[in-house]
Amino acid sequence: MSKLFEPISLGGLTLPNRIIIAPMCQYSSDEGKATSWHHAHLGQLSFSGAGLLILEATAVEAVGRISAQDLGLWDDETEAALKGLIDGLRENSNIPLGLQLGHAGRKASHAAPWKGGAQIPQSAGGWQTVAPSAIPFAEGTEAPAALTAERISELKKAYVDSVRRADRLGFDLLELHGAHGYLLHQFLSPLSNQRTDQYGGSLENRMRLLLEIFQEIRAAFPANKPIGVRISATDWAEGGWDLEQSIELAKALDKLGCSYIHVSSGGLSQHQKIAVGPNYQVPFADSIKQHVKMPVIAVGLITEPEQAEAIVGTGQADMIALARGILYNPRWPWHAAAKLGAKVYAPKQYWRSEPHSVKGLFLPE
């Protein structure tokens, strides 16, 4: 029996297997509203047979978008657009749906990757970014405005409001984005957080905002629905956030009833030096798993079914996440099930595609 294709429970939600589709920004929204691109993109991924589909980083306020084309959930219009999308997905697939809530902080106001990805200054149509401290992400870019105590209170409310909207939309799961150099990660790292109040300085203070927001959104979302957190385990930069601090954060989240932790890395510093290779982030997930009770997701250059099976089967992580790999091959879980002798859910319209060599591969949704 394949461990990768065993069910797993996250709070009150049971996933049919341990393959997670990680959030992937599409830079294709209209003033925060989902478009036909999202219907096409997520529609094909909803047929993949993965255990969970998490929608891209969704901004809790307009200034929190990475680009002007980011998905959002901050008002009635953005909620209505997402409702049309979610309703369409639900009509054709039973895949569990999650939403990642985020805020880009100082990494906001950028162009889409295919337009170069550079920061767009206010003079060229961008907007004033915010951060824990007025430290630019890169040399030659505009400095963010340091968040005041009043703005931090407004930010917390924005998260809670978005969570309530997400619940009305019927999402099965939420993920709090605390990774990849975005706002909550900026509070965690001493490279970007030089505050002298209760949100800066010591590790306890730097973790405070993420933990407070987690507690507030946990209280606003039904208790039977899981909320996880995505983190960068290390900044890959001297003097920055690292694995030891990540373990302390994970332990604190575990005590607060976090449903899972999704372990990535990097994204905060222009000076990061990443040793990239297959499974390069798995040791971080493995180390964190030794200190927490909640399930752990590993991600990063996991491309082969046997590789994913080994990670889960040896207990390095409880689940694996796919991002670029599943964009390249949206049927990755089908192929993995075929290789590992497992079964996978597929829509009835596609059952005729089952290869003769793997009869019995497909389960009815």
Q: Which residues are catalytic?
A: 182
Structure tokens at 292: 């927490």
| Contacts by 118-125, CB closer than 8 A, 24 or more apart | 120/68, 125/68
Burial class of 343 by CB neighbour count within 10 A (0 to 12, 13 to 18, 19+): middle
11: helix, strand or coil = coil
Half-sphere exposure of 64 (CA within 13 A, CB side): 26
Please check whether residue 50 is in contact with residue 20, taking contact to mean a CB–CB distance below 8 angstroms: yes
In order, the DSSP letters of 69-132 are T--B-SSHHHHHHHHHHHHHHHHH----EEEEEE--GGG-SB--GGGT--B--GGGT----EES
Separation of alpha carbons 234 and 244, rounded Å: 9
DSSP 18: S
**Closest-CA residue to 58 (of 77, 71, 68, 69):** 71
For 122, other C-beta atoms within 10 Å of its C-beta total 11
Please check whether residue 210 is in contact with residue 227, taking contact to mean a CB–CB distance below 8 angstroms: no
Vertex 251 angle, CA 249 and 255, to 5°: 115
Structure tokens at 184: 């909550």
One-letter identity of residue 321: A
Helix 203-220 to helix 243-255 angle, to the nearest 10 degrees? 40
Separation of alpha carbons 147 and 183, rounded Å: 11
Separation of alpha carbons 199 and 210, rounded Å: 10
